[in-house]
Amino acid sequence: MKIETRSDRIKVVEEQFDAYLQGAQAAETLLGPNDALRPSSSLTAAAARELFEDQVTSRTLDVVARELKRDGASFYTISSAGHEQNATLGAQLRTDDPCFLHYRSGALMQARSRRAQSGTAIRDALLGLMASAEDPTSGGRHKVFGSRDMWVPPQTSTIGSHLPKAVGLAFALSRAKRMGLELPLSSDAIVCCSFGDASASHATALSALNAARYAFRGGRPTPILFVCEDNRIGISVETPSGWIRDRFSSMRNLMYFDAEGELDEVHDAVGRAIHACRTTRGPVFLRLSTVRLWGHAGSDVETTYHTWEEISAIEAQDPLLANAKLLIECGAADPAALRDVVAKVRQRVRDAIPSAQATPKLSARAEVMKPLAPYDEGKVRAEASWAERDAKRSEVFGTTLPENNESPTRQTLAAHINSSLQDEFLHRPETIAFGEDVAKKGGVYGVTAQLQKRFGPARVFDTLLDETTILGVAQGSAHIGLLPIPEIQYLAYVHNAIDQIRGEACSLSFFSTGQFTNPMVIRIAGLAYQKGFGGHFHNDNSIGSLREIPGITIACPSKGDDAARMLRGCVALARSCGRVVVFLEPIALYHERDLHEAGDQGWLTRYPKPTPEASGALLPGEVGVYHEDASDILIVSYGNGLRLSLRAAKHLLEAGIHARVLDLRWIAPLPFEAIAKHAEACGAMLVADECRATGGIAEAVVANLAESSYSGRLGSVRAADCYVPLGPASSTVLISEEEIAQAATRLLAR
């Protein structure tokens, strides 16, 4: 008995399609180009033929992808076969309606390319399949649908994790207008986001849907078109019949449309959904009925969960076959014309293969990583210089400037962050700040106090309690030129939404070869040593999940004057290089005043006002050094650890040991060059790492020095791999100044 293969099924579907076209009879009367297919439809014969050609192009590329994979020339086989009705979206959306596309939206992309009059859609698709370095979107880094000119930011998501940033962009459209900023999009642009029915159940997708409804219910325009391409299965797990309609059709503050049936019926339903979204400026959910042909991907053995009878029944629903029948029966085209379209498309695709195959692949690490973390120090320093600062500040505040910005007295870390945020808002009208409790309350610790009062609710606003949404709003806002400074209330909370940073925000430049960026500075209150407040959620010292993210920059200030200058550097880096920056603020130091003993006010500093020179900012790699003349031992630390290390250095000095203390300031990427320079000047180096032993910075610092043949002694003090408990027990798992001093003494005695 012959065992059929996936290649056989592709052949079956194509033969079924070709056989119909070969034997079909033309209608008695052919329609004119501008005639509607049927009296009740708005789809014309000419538009239907264009849709058909775009769908055949998408299907042919899917067939070729499997063949090329078999021959070792292609690396991607997740196809759009069976989803071709999404071309109706590509034909009706405008090319400045941003699209965040599902990986089965191939026909949509072909139709959008036609609308944009792009002549390279076939070649571009082939280059993506072949991981070519000449792929105009990702440069060979991944197979994605994307185009800068057509406003299609590339997505690699398979679980709906691109939905929050799509909502964020829709939400930001009206906010940018309220701020008086010029948008790169039309005034009535909408955002389209496509995804699968299985992804619709993912927490990230549901979070995005909730956020859109929440915003619209609150009177904030959020024109997003959610397109669920419903093929009723996720790899092998079936979606219950009618689930998508039952789940989403009755949600309040979410208009719902079904697009199913014949091509013209789908086209008109899509048109109604687009119109509703554009005119109401609210969220719309469109269920697009599809089927999935040939399994999830080329490696998916569909017969492990479908019988041959079930597979045949799915293949009988092939939309290309149904559309060919409709066009011929309605007189939109005769069989010979459609056969000609199919033959020419197939030939165009196959003719484009040899030249695409001849293009180079990425072959060097530096080449692969080039768009990951762009850094131009000259641009950053230029961005950090504020030549017109005083004029802009006077414009807003008149002759009376904010007291905390001008006071000659020394102030706390929290006060300096607040002052620097105010100055950034004065200097950059595109800056926005948002998060839980940041606006009216001014933050749980008062760090954003007065910001909303001084700059208005369009620029400083509270969000719902959802970190995924906060980070989605940041990404979407950045897409259209805003500079978001979102706040995550506690470090522990960012783990709820870490993929929005790791898988989405930080990957955008990489997968678009720098054509799309989402610059932002994410303020996160965190680390341990808070007294009298809350256990591990409010004393979280876990930074490993942030530090491992490719392309990220993490700043961690300890003192107020450093914080102000570092925040300026972070904003300049984000704005000039499109970078994602985390500004990790030690909560326990927000309102700290003293260093060595009560009342010494050794932790207070004067606010360093911005200057026309870039020296008013601190940039990555620029560290802080204390007791620079000391050379017995170098203590390397950051955050709370700096204060502890300085206290430990005083104890060591009383014992005759001269300790130099280095404040890293930047914990990703680590300033290895500066560390090595100061370590070489000392006979030993000790890392005082307040974060967990696993995932902290100590292991990287020690390994780097050891591998560079550092001749001095190496050691570290690290917090335990443990959650921080409530109350005095926290001291058992965190490092202390006594422990640092003792470790330094032991290290020197070796």
**CATH (domain of 285):** 3.40.50.970
**280 with 426, same domain?**
no
Reply yes or no on whether the pLDDT at 400 is more than 50. no
Reply yes or no on whether the pLDDT at 401 is more than 50. no
> Does 715 reside within a domain?
yes
For the record, the structure tokens of 393 come out as: 């500040």
| pLDDT mean over 307-326 | 96
**348 with 394, same domain?**
no
Q: Are strands 659-663 and 624-626 parallel, antiparallel or unpaired?
A: antiparallel
> Does 608 reside within a domain?
yes
Reply yes or no on whether the pLDDT at 548 is more than 50. yes
Residue where the block lists tokens 């390279």: 120
* 397 — pLDDT class (breaks 50, 70, 90): very low
Alpha helices in 588-710 (DSSP H): 640-654, 672-680, 698-707
Q: Per-residue b/e over 278-299, b at no fewer than 16 CB within 10 Å?
A: beebbbbbbbbbbbbbbbbbbe
DSSP secondary structure letter of residue 723: P
* 391 — pLDDT class (breaks 50, 70, 90): low
For the record, the structure tokens of 234 come out as: 């996720």
β-partners of residue 714 are 685
Q: Show which of 369, 404, 421 is a domain's final residue.
A: 369
Q: How many whole angstroms separate alpha carbon 72 and alpha carbon 615?
A: 54
**151 with 272, same domain?**
yes
Give me the pLDDT at residue 4, please. 55
Question: Which carries the bigger pLDDT value, residue 648 or residue 158?
Answer: 648
**361 with 401, same domain?**
no
Q: How many whole angstroms separate alpha carbon 325 and alpha carbon 316?
A: 13
**331 with 417, same domain?**
no
Taking a C-beta distance cutoff of 8 angstroms, is the pair 306, 292 a contact?
Answer: no
Give me the pLDDT at residue 5, please. 60
DSSP secondary structure letter of residue 4: P
Q: How many whole angstroms separate alpha carbon 415 and alpha carbon 528?
A: 20
Which has the minimum average pLDDT: 53-62, 106-115, 395-404, 651-660? 395-404
The rounded percent of the chain whose pLDDT value lies above 70 is 95
Reply yes or no on whether the pLDDT at 389 is more than 90. no
Which has the minimum average pLDDT: 58-72, 389-403, 457-471, 569-583? 389-403
* 360 — pLDDT class (breaks 50, 70, 90): very high
- The residue among 618, 572, 611 whose CA lies nearest residue 384 is 572
| pLDDT mean over 304-331 | 96
Range of the domain at 690: 624-749
- The residue among 101, 105, 54, 109 whose CA lies nearest residue 79 is 105
Q: How many whole angstroms separate alpha carbon 324 and alpha carbon 320?
A: 6
**The total number of structural domains that make up the chain:** 3
Reply yes or no on whether the pLDDT at 399 is more than 50. no
Reply yes or no on whether the pLDDT at 7 is more than 90. no
Tell how far CA 331 is from the center of its chain: 47
The phi and psi torsions of 451 (rounded to 5 degrees) equal -65, -50
Who's near 114: CB < 8 A, 6+ residues apart?
Answer: 50, 54, 90, 91, 121
> What is the CATH classification number for the domain harbouring 699?
3.40.50.920
Who's near 414: CB < 8 A, 6+ residues apart?
Answer: 445, 446, 447, 560, 590, 591
Q: What is the DSSP string of 230-254?
A: E-SEETTEEPPTTHHHHHHTT-TT-
Who's near 230: CB < 8 A, 6+ residues apart?
Answer: 196, 197, 239, 244, 287, 288, 289, 290
Reply yes or no on whether the pLDDT at 46 is more than 90. yes
Helix, strand counts (H, E) of the chain: 29, 19
Amino acid at 570: C
Tell how far CA 554 is from the center of its chain: 16
Taking a C-beta distance cutoff of 8 angstroms, is the pair 127, 230 a contact?
Answer: no
**583 with 705, same domain?**
no
For the record, the structure tokens of 150 come out as: 């057509």
**75 with 18, same domain?**
yes
> Does 55 reside within a domain?
yes
Reply yes or no on whether the pLDDT at 379 is more than 80. yes
| pLDDT mean over 615-627 | 94
Which has the minimum average pLDDT: 1-5, 87-91, 698-702? 1-5
| pLDDT mean over 557-581 | 97
* 609 — pLDDT class (breaks 50, 70, 90): confident
Question: Which carries the bigger pLDDT value, residue 398 or residue 679?
Answer: 679
**249 with 305, same domain?**
yes
Who's near 419: CB < 8 A, 6+ residues apart?
Answer: 402, 404, 405, 411, 564, 607
What size, in residues, is the chain?
A: 750
Q: How many whole angstroms separate alpha carbon 636 and alpha carbon 618?
A: 18
**591 with 733, same domain?**
no
For the record, the structure tokens of 614 come out as: 């870039």
Question: Which carries the bigger pLDDT value, residue 385 or residue 572?
Answer: 572
> Does 696 reside within a domain?
yes
Give me the pLDDT at residue 398, please. 40
> Does 264 reside within a domain?
yes
Reply yes or no on whether the pLDDT at 377 is more than 60. yes
Helix (H, G, I), strand (E, B) or coil at 351: helix
Q: Per-residue b/e over 401-433, b at no fewer than 16 CB within 10 Å?
A: bbebbeeeebbbbbbbbbbbbbbbbbbbebbbb
> Does 1 reside within a domain?
no
Q: Show which of 324, 351, 369 is a domain's final residue.
A: 369
Within 13 Å of residue 691, how many CA atoms lie on the same side as its CB?
26
Reply yes or no on whether the pLDDT at 408 is more than 80. no
**359 with 409, same domain?**
no
Helix (H, G, I), strand (E, B) or coil at 716: strand
DSSP secondary structure letter of residue 489: S
Reply yes or no on whether the pLDDT at 392 is more than 60. no
Taking a C-beta distance cutoff of 8 angstroms, is the pair 628, 636 a contact?
Answer: no
Q: Say whether the peptide bond before residue 669 is cis (omega within 30 degrees of 0).
A: yes
DSSP secondary structure letter of residue 598: T
Give me the pLDDT at residue 611, please. 78
Helix (H, G, I), strand (E, B) or coil at 577: helix
pLDDT tens-digit map of 239-297: 999 999 999 999 999 999 999 999 999 999 999 999 999 999 999 999 999 999 999 99
| pLDDT mean over 213-239 | 96
DSSP secondary structure letter of residue 150: T
The pLDDT mean for the chain works out to 94
Number of CB atoms found within 10 A of residue 253's CB: 15
pLDDT tens-digit map of 19-37: 999 999 999 999 999 999 9
> Does 414 reside within a domain?
yes
- The residue among 631, 693, 618 whose CA lies nearest residue 660 is 631
> Does 156 reside within a domain?
yes
pTM for the whole thing? Answer: 0.95
| pLDDT mean over 214-229 | 97
| pLDDT mean over 303-319 | 95
Taking a C-beta distance cutoff of 8 angstroms, is the pair 584, 697 a contact?
Answer: no
The phi and psi torsions of 569 (rounded to 5 degrees) equal -65, -40
**51 with 172, same domain?**
yes
Reply yes or no on whether the pLDDT at 706 is more than 60. yes
Q: How many whole angstroms separate alpha carbon 82 and alpha carbon 231?
A: 8
For the record, the structure tokens of 248 come out as: 């989403």
Q: How many whole angstroms separate alpha carbon 197 and alpha carbon 421?
A: 42
* 412 — pLDDT class (breaks 50, 70, 90): very high
Q: How many whole angstroms separate alpha carbon 215 and alpha carbon 724?
A: 36
Who's near 508: CB < 8 A, 6+ residues apart?
Answer: 153, 154, 475, 516, 517, 518
Q: How many whole angstroms separate alpha carbon 507 and alpha carbon 530?
A: 34
For the record, the structure tokens of 443 come out as: 């933050």
Give me the pLDDT at residue 407, please. 54
* 610 — pLDDT class (breaks 50, 70, 90): confident
Q: What angle do CA 630, 634, 635 make, to 5 degrees?
A: 120
334 burial level (CB within 10 Å; 0-12, 13-18, 19+) = middle
Taking a C-beta distance cutoff of 8 angstroms, is the pair 267, 326 a contact?
Answer: no
The phi and psi torsions of 192 (rounded to 5 degrees) equal -110, 140
Q: Show which of 584, 616, 648 is a domain's final residue.
A: 616
Q: What is the DSSP string of 412-452?
A: -HHHHHHHHHHHHHHH-TTEEEEETT-SSS--TTSTTTTHH
322 burial level (CB within 10 Å; 0-12, 13-18, 19+) = middle
Give me the pLDDT at residue 372, please. 97
- The residue among 360, 345, 359, 362 whose CA lies nearest residue 64 is 345
Number of CB atoms found within 10 A of residue 455's CB: 20
Q: Per-residue b/e over 672-692, b at no fewer than 16 CB within 10 Å?
A: eebbbebbeebebbbbbbbbb
Question: Which carries the bigger pLDDT value, residue 6 or residue 377?
Answer: 377
Q: How many whole angstroms separate alpha carbon 100 and alpha carbon 225?
A: 10
* 709 — pLDDT class (breaks 50, 70, 90): confident
**365 with 406, same domain?**
no
